[in-house]
Amino acid sequence: MTISAKTCGLSTLDTLNAALDAKAEYVGFVFYPPSPRNIDFEQAKKLSDAVGSRAKKVGVFVNPDDEFLTKAIKAAKLDYVQLHGNEPVERVQYVQKRFNIKVIKAISIASVSDISRAREYERYADILLFDAKPPVDLENALPGGNGLEFDWKLISGKKWNIPWMLSGGLDATNVKEAIKISGAKIIDVSSGLEEEPGRKNNEKIKAFMDAVQDID
């Protein structure tokens, strides 16, 4: 079984190169100021230039306006825009057409009803991303990257008409089980590669990617 991986929240050339050397197929840059993984447009350009064509570049946004998207897409030469807020399907369609770019729509999952909501986006997004919905009482919760898992059985056996990614609390110790239960072909990881929020660890990156590539 071939599993693709997206290493997200990269902010330094050192950790970016570690992800690229480990054969990550997608690299994610966060453009969301409240996040400890946020980068500015100057950082984004340097990182993007270092990627070249070695991986697909994904920009992660939360309810961005057009001006902000324009600047980020240009700076990072993005291949994908990941919408991780409460953007409606109309916004997904608009971003695709306005910027001529592929869109990943993140869906926060906690129950069966969230799976039904994901179906609304299936006709419009290019890729769906299933992440854990943070509990309402979680202090300083972010839309994603909280290091939380959801019940992978909720998406087990589900058929989708477009590709999808699994995210939420993944690391080198649980990724094999997550893939086995969910059936994911693409996985997305951020906090599971970190020493602390926003600070990636090269050894954790390698260990995670080794675990993924060891799946048969």
Output the pLDDT for position 138.
45
Mean residue pLDDT across the chain: 92
Active site residue 114: no
Contact by Cβ (8 Å): 188, 170: yes
48 pLDDT above the threshold of 90: yes
Cα–Cα distance for residue pair 48/78, rounded to 1 Å: 8
**CATH number (domain holding residue 189):** 3.20.20.70
φ/ψ bin of 186: left (φ > 0), alpha (ψ from -120 to 50), beta (otherwise): beta
132 pLDDT above the threshold of 90: no
Based on the structure, what is the number of domains in the chain? Answer: 1
Active site residue 21: no
pLDDT band per the 50, 70, 90 thresholds, residue 137 = very low
> For 56-89, b where at least 16 C-beta lie within 10 A, e where not — what string?
bbbbbbbebeeeebeebbebbebbbbbbbeebee
- Name the percent of the chain lying above pLDDT 90: 80
pLDDT band per the 50, 70, 90 thresholds, residue 117 = confident
Q: What is the mean pLDDT of residues 64-72?
A: 98
- Determine the length of the chain: 216
Boundaries of domain holding 209: 4-213
pLDDT band per the 50, 70, 90 thresholds, residue 40 = very high
**Least reliable range by pLDDT among 39-48, 138-147, 183-192:** 138-147
Instruction: Find the angle CA(140)-CA(29)-CA(114) to the nearest 5 degrees.
Output: 55
pLDDT tens digits, one per residue of 9-32: 999 999 999 999 999 999 999 999
Q: What is the mean pLDDT of residues 176-200?
A: 94
Q: Which of 8, 79, 171, 188 is catalytic?
A: 8
Q: What is the mean pLDDT of residues 40-45?
A: 97
pLDDT band per the 50, 70, 90 thresholds, residue 145 = low
Output the pLDDT for position 46.
98
Tokens of 113: 């009803």
